[in-house]
Structure 1
Amino acid sequence: MTEQVSTGATQADQGPQFSLQRIYVRDLSFEAPKSPEIFRQEWAPSVELDLNTRQKPLEGDFYEVVLTLSVTVKTGGETAFIAEVQQAGIFLIAGLDAAAMSHTLGAFCPNLLFPYAREALDNLVVRGSFPALMLAPVNFDALYAQQLERMQTAGNA
C-alpha cells in the first residue's frame, strides 16, 4: 500500500502549464468546378489564401483552437479549385495571465497547427490532380500583433 503525501502546492504554485492533447481535422472540403476542362488549359495559377483562427474554452483548463485555411486557385480567369481545411487542436493551458493566454491561443497554438493544416491541404489538392500548393510558413506572432493593433485603433476611434 502506498501513502500519498500532500505538499499543499496549488496550481498557481506550479507555474504555467501547456500541453497539446490532440490534433485533428475538424472539416475538409475540395471543389474543382471546371474539371475536367481545367486540366486542358495552360497552368498559370493565382492563389488566394484566407487564414482564420478561433478558439473556445472547453471544460476546466482545456481549450479548442481551430485554424482554417481556405484557398481559391484560378487559372486563365477561371476557378481551378477551392480547398478548405479546418485543423483543430485541444490544448491544456493553465496558470497564464490574460495577456499571455490571449497570445498563446491567438498565435502559439495556431503556429503548432499550421504544419498539419498545410499538409492536409497539400494532400487534398494533389488528390484532386493539381500541383501541391506548398504554402509558405506564416508568422502568427506578427498576425496577432497586427490584430491587437487594429483592435486598439478601433477602440480609440
Structure 2
Amino acid sequence: MADQDLTPVFQIQRMYLKDMSLEQPNSPQILLEQQQPQVDIQLGLSGEAIADGVYESCVTATVTTKIGDRTLFLIEAKQAGIFEIRNLPQEQVEGILNVVCPQMIYPYLRAVVSDVCTRAGFPPILLTEVNFQAMYESRMQQAANGLAA
C-alpha cells in the first residue's frame, strides 16, 4: 500500500486560455495599405506551483505586425494548463514544467493566434514549431555560465 503512495503521477487537470488581447491601433486607415507587414513573434514561458503537487504552466505569444513604424495589429495570447505532478525529483519536475507541459499547451496557443488573426480580418499567422527541450537546455546553460562567472 505504501508503494502506491510513491507512484509517480503526471496528469493534465485542465487546459485554458488565460489571457487574450487584440489591438488594431491604426485601423481603419492602415488597412488600406498595400505593403507587406513585418511580423515579430515573441514566446514566453512561466510556471508555478499552485497547490501541493499541482502546477500551472503558461506559454505566451506576442505577435506584432507593422507597416513601417505603424502597428497593423498586436496579439498577445497566454495559454495555460494545470498539471498534477507528484512523487518525482525536483529536477524532473522542472524539466516537465519547462518542456513537456509547454509542448502540450503550444498547439492550443497556435490555434488561438491563428483564429484571432482570421477573426480580425487578416490572413492567419501560423506559429512555427518550437523545440522546448532546446530552449530549456539553453536557459540551463546560460544559468550555469552566469553562476560560473
Please, what TM-score do these two structures have when normalized by structure 1?
A: 0.90
Cross-structure match for 1:9: 3
Cross-structure match for 1:50: 42
How far is the alpha carbon of 1:56 from its aligned partner? 1.1
1:63 partnered with 2:55 = yes
Cross-structure match for 1:155: 147
Structure 1 ranges of 4+ moved more than 6 A: none
1:23 partnered with 2:15 = yes
Question: Which of 113, 121, 129 matches 2:113?
Answer: 121
| Residue pair 1:44, 1:76 contacting (<8 A) in 2 also | no
Cross-structure match for 1:78: 70
| C-alpha distance in 1 between matches for 2:3 and 2:138 | 38
How far is the alpha carbon of 1:28 from its aligned partner? 0.4
Question: Which of 86, 97, 101 matches 1:105?
Answer: 97
- Point out the more displaced range, 132-141 or 76-85: 76-85
How far is the alpha carbon of 1:122 from its aligned partner? 1.1
SS in 2 for 1:153: helix
Name the % identity.
32
What is the RMSD of the two structures over their aligned residues, measured on CA atoms?
Answer: 1.2
Cross-structure match for 1:34: 26
How far is the alpha carbon of 1:76 from its aligned partner? 3.5
SS in 1 for 2:3: coil
Cross-structure match for 1:4: none
How far is the alpha carbon of 1:95 from its aligned partner? 1.8
Consecutive unaligned residues of structure 2, counting only runs of 5 or more, are none
Cross-structure match for 1:135: 127
How far is the alpha carbon of 1:45 from its aligned partner? 2.1
How far is the alpha carbon of 1:87 from its aligned partner? 0.4
Please, what TM-score do these two structures have when normalized by structure 2?
A: 0.94
- Point out the more displaced range, 47-56 or 82-91: 47-56
1:144 partnered with 2:130 = no
- Point out the more displaced range, 119-128 or 84-93: 119-128
Larger Rg: 1
How far is the alpha carbon of 1:75 from its aligned partner? 2.2
